Structure 1
Amino acid sequence: MSGDAEDAIETFLLVVPSFFYVVLATTLPAFLPYSSKQLNFTVEFIIIVIPIILNVTVFANISGNILFIISLILFTFVALMLVNTLYKPTSKETKITKPLLNRENFVTNVRSTINLISVVAILAVDFNIFPSRFSKTPRTGFSLMDLGVGLYVFANGIVAPEARGKKDPITNSIKSSIALIIIGILRLVSTKATHYHVSEMEYGIHWNFFITLAVTKILSSCILNIFDVNYIYINAILLTVAHETLLQMFLKSWIFSTDKRTNLISANKEGIVSSVGYVSLYLFSLYFSYSLNKMKTQHNKNKLFFIWIINSLLITCFCTYKFEVSRRLANCGYIAWILFIAISMTWLFYLWDSLKKNSFVNFNLNCCPFILEAINSNGLIFFLVANVLTGLVNLTITTNLVSSMNSLIILIVYMLINCGLASVLYSSKIKLKLL
């Protein structure tokens, strides 16, 4: 097996266990009922958040074993529930207080899980307990940190208004993007003022994650206001092919060159060029969600999931062999890889929602963990706070000199603050919407 294949499989195995942690958190109330929000938060933090931290740090080399163990535990829980269902008449009054199979349940779970993993990784990468192979690849390849921006674009695309058949005026996109641009500028100013190290090979000298999100949103909105959403996949395909063609012709060598950055364009070449790929990814994600929303039966939905997963996997394999996969370029292979991982995770959450609806109505199951609902309610704020805390930690201590135990303690406290703030805002019904 090639190194790229091994890295891709390992990255996938690092992400998948988070699904099982979420399932365990939603299943546990069936066996140990509890109603206190504080207890609920504590249990979910222990079951979901801490294992994710451990999974990308001290347990990184045994992710396959962890997946097997957690699968075995969940199989036991599910088997007990199925046996109970077979020998116990279905209650006329379900104990589940929310509708089970609406779009929000599994979409909320996958969006918040993406955000949670990303937030853990952006600080964990600064410590020695975070394996260097999980850091962003300098040119091509697969790594955990390479997933972040791509999965975030996917998470935004699947909940776009157009995915529900609604038109979003360009003015709305511009207004919300102004907030992102301001955040991007503030991040640039703060990193320069504090001499906080940011690799130029990520987005460029002045460009950053927030600028990419803003540009992606504006360009996608322009395309969606010109073309019918029913055929937006054609635009996504044409844009991806054109982008890959230009990369192979000259853009790839320009991006990877070590020539001096002499002007504003060359200074931010990674951010500018990769934005085209992220627009394609956004359009693909939106069209996938739009197609899923149109499906009326579970059979057709599952069929759609299967088709997208197989196609994205095959394209990833082909591009890995032919063009390589690069987050820095946001090329065709990267787009397909992100779609494969994101849609696979979405399918898992959808299947679990379907199983709960069809088989476990006698049980007091949560539709979504409280922490994930809280994160989804203020997703960008959650991510912003994580960035601020990451900066403060790096300015306060020399992270590469911190012991493994202290690193874990810092990461747990960091996530406790993040998740705690999100939960307080959610409980108080405060939604600070910037997007």
Structure 2
Amino acid sequence: MDTTTLRNSLNPIKRLKEEFVSNLTGSSMIEIAALSTIIPILVLLRHSFNSSNVIGMSLRAVLDHTAANASLKKSDGLVIRSKSLKRYLAAIAVDFLIIVIPTLLFFTVLADWSCLCAILLVLLLLLLIAAKGMLNHSPTRESGNQSLRANISSFRVVVMITTCLCILAVDFRIFPRRYAKTETYGTSLMDLGVGSFVLANSLVSRQARNVSSTIYSSDNYFWCRLSRYQYWLIYGLNTYLLSNQRGSDIISQNKEGLFSIFGYWSIYLIGVQLGNSLFFGKNSSATLGSKRRARIIVWILALFFWMTTLLLDSYVERVSRRMCNLAYVTLVLAQNLQVLAILMLSGYVAGNETSVLEEALNSNLLAAFLLANLLTGLVNLSVDTLSTSSITALLILLVYAFILSIAMGLANFNGIRLKFW
């Protein structure tokens, strides 16, 4: 009996888990686009039910109120918070019901109906927009630059919600295998996780706010290097990176991670450029016109990158997360800009106030990610996820998501903001 056979026989659960995540080919881009439509629309639907109707006065309204009344800034704010804890938790619960639970269901039991549900939600969103138009509502000047940044915050929260749900759901059989990370080439929901995280943070990075930084202002800087990297991939580097043969040197042992830096660095630079030019640079201002301009540009870019991805995937090289090739970079940009573009329609939906859960998560994004990983580890140590029934798995995921939501809500309600830098 050789060493590998002996190891597999001694640890069958580990072997089953390795087989569970091996040889996966991903899903279609249409399904990815459908999921990227569903989640931001759920957030907009929550915005249409004004949070202040649930908690009496939202946290942001409380802060604005106390700031306007300096004499009550310390005492009044604390009193209002302490008296409205039940309403605040009720608002978190409503946000959980409207945003988190449907998202979790679309990642699991409703996965086969994602395209149909996306179409229905788009129609519902259009009805809401039309209803607001019939009521003669229109975006005001207060929804200028502040609202643009609120859209980015909502986008980052959507990325975090998706990430936190997937990192545990992927361990259960209820989570479709086509959504898990692919082996070599292919497109999946989890393949986009790291790229989305990089882009979401680059949009609000210090470099995006620094208009004088020349290295990030060159439009050709990242594309030239990314094109050169793609050229290397086509002419032999891809064979080396996807090969199972590894040498003893540090480069060979970490070849995918080292070379994929070219792709992820390009995503970061593009995000910095977009954040600077659309949201923080000298061309952006707190006017209604600037928001309309930004919205149009984001929609055009989203469509452009989707078309570019289809062409690259068909005629140059298929999307590959492991190599972070050009097609993967454009797919990350297309998918994330689509989410951001939909969220930027918030001005056309009545009652477009940020939900309490969004405010809570946005205040502690890193803490939410760390807590999600901690809870995921505890679940995996306590439960044999592969043999768990679908009903039990769904229940575990719901409890996990609820604990995460409540924890972040309580932290935000008590003014706790965890930062590690």
Task: Tell me the CA shift for residue 33 of structure 1.
Answer: 4.8
Q: Does 1:147 align with 2:192?
A: yes
Equivalent position amino acid for 2:32 in 1: T
Trace 1:338-377 onto structure 2 (pairs within 5 A). Answer: 338-353=332-347, 355-356=348-349, 360=350, 365-377=351-363
Q: 2:174 aligns with which of 102, 113, 129?
A: 129
Task: Determine the structure 2 residue equivalent to 1:301.
Answer: 294
Equivalent position amino acid for 1:109 in 2: S
Q: 1:157 aligns with which of 198, 202, 213?
A: 202
The alignment's C-alpha RMSD in Å is 2.6
Equivalent position amino acid for 1:137 in 2: T
Separation of aligned partners in 2, 1:98 and 1:162: 24
Residues 275 and 229 (structure 1), Cα distance of their counterparts in 2 relative to 1, 3 Å cut: closer
Separation of aligned partners in 1, 2:144 and 2:95: 21
Separation of aligned partners in 1, 2:164 and 2:276: 28
Separation of aligned partners in 1, 2:126 and 2:383: 43
TM-score of the superposition, structure 1-length normalised?
A: 0.76
Separation of aligned partners in 2, 1:434 and 1:105: 23
- Unaligned stretches of 5+ residues in structure 2: 1-24, 57-86
Task: Determine the structure 1 residue equivalent to 2:82.
Answer: none
List per-residue Cα deviations over 1:202-223 (Å, max 9, x = no partner).
xxxxxxxxxxxxxxxxxxxxxx
* Of 99-108 and 403-412, the range deviating more from structure 2: 99-108
Query: Quick check: 1:105–1:367 contact (8 Å CA) kept in 2?
Result: no
Query: Quick check: 1:129–1:404 contact (8 Å CA) kept in 2?
Result: yes
Q: Does 1:230 align with 2:217?
A: yes
Q: 1:13 aligns with which of 25, 34, 45?
A: 34
Q: How many equivalent residue pairs?
A: 358
Q: Does 1:117 align with 2:138?
A: no
Query: Quick check: 2:46–2:355 contact (8 Å CA) kept in 1?
Result: yes
Equivalent position amino acid for 2:253 in 1: A
Task: Determine the structure 2 residue equivalent to 1:193.
Answer: none
List per-residue Cα deviations over 1:42-80 (Å, max 9, x = no partner).
100000000010001000000122223333444444444
Task: Determine the structure 2 residue equivalent to 1:48.
Answer: 99
3-state SS of paired residue (1:252): helix
3-state SS of paired residue (1:26): helix
Q: 2:112 aligns with which of 36, 61, 74?
A: 61
TM-score of the superposition, structure 2-length normalised?
A: 0.79
List per-residue Cα deviations over 1:80-135 (Å, max 9, x = no partner).
4443447xxx9xxx9x9997853321001111001101111111111111111111
Task: Determine the structure 1 residue equivalent to 2:3.
Answer: none
Identity of aligned pairs, percent?
A: 30
Residues 410 and 342 (structure 1), Cα distance of their counterparts in 2 relative to 1, 3 Å cut: same
Separation of aligned partners in 2, 1:299 and 1:31: 26
Which protein is bigger by CA-based radius of gyration? 2
List per-residue Cα deviations over 1:244-300 (Å, max 9, x = no partner).
122223321111111144232222111111112100000011111112132453443
Task: Determine the structure 2 residue equivalent to 1:285.
Answer: 271
Task: Determine the structure 1 residue equivalent to 2:312.
Answer: 319
Query: Quick check: 1:98–1:367 contact (8 Å CA) kept in 2?
Result: no
Separation of aligned partners in 2, 1:98 and 1:422: 26
Separation of aligned partners in 2, 1:99 and 1:6: 38
Separation of aligned partners in 1, 2:42 and 2:258: 37
List per-residue Cα deviations over 1:146-190 (Å, max 9, x = no partner).
1100100010110012222357xxxxxxxxxxxxxxxxxxxxxxx
Residues 250 and 83 (structure 1), Cα distance of their counterparts in 2 relative to 1, 3 Å cut: same
Separation of aligned partners in 2, 1:260 and 1:74: 51
Query: Quick check: 2:179–2:188 contact (8 Å CA) kept in 1?
Result: yes
Separation of aligned partners in 1, 2:302 and 2:127: 28
Trace 1:396-415 onto structure 2 (pairs within 5 A). Answer: 396-415=382-401
Task: Tell me the CA shift for residue 30 of structure 1.
Answer: 8.3
List per-residue Cα deviations over 1:279-328 (Å, max 9, x = no partner).
00000111111121324534432342244223312321221021111111
Query: Quick check: 2:185–2:321 contact (8 Å CA) kept in 1?
Result: yes
Equivalent position amino acid for 1:41 in 2: I
Task: Tell me the CA shift for residue 31 of structure 1.
Answer: 11
Residues 286 and 117 (structure 1), Cα distance of their counterparts in 2 relative to 1, 3 Å cut: same
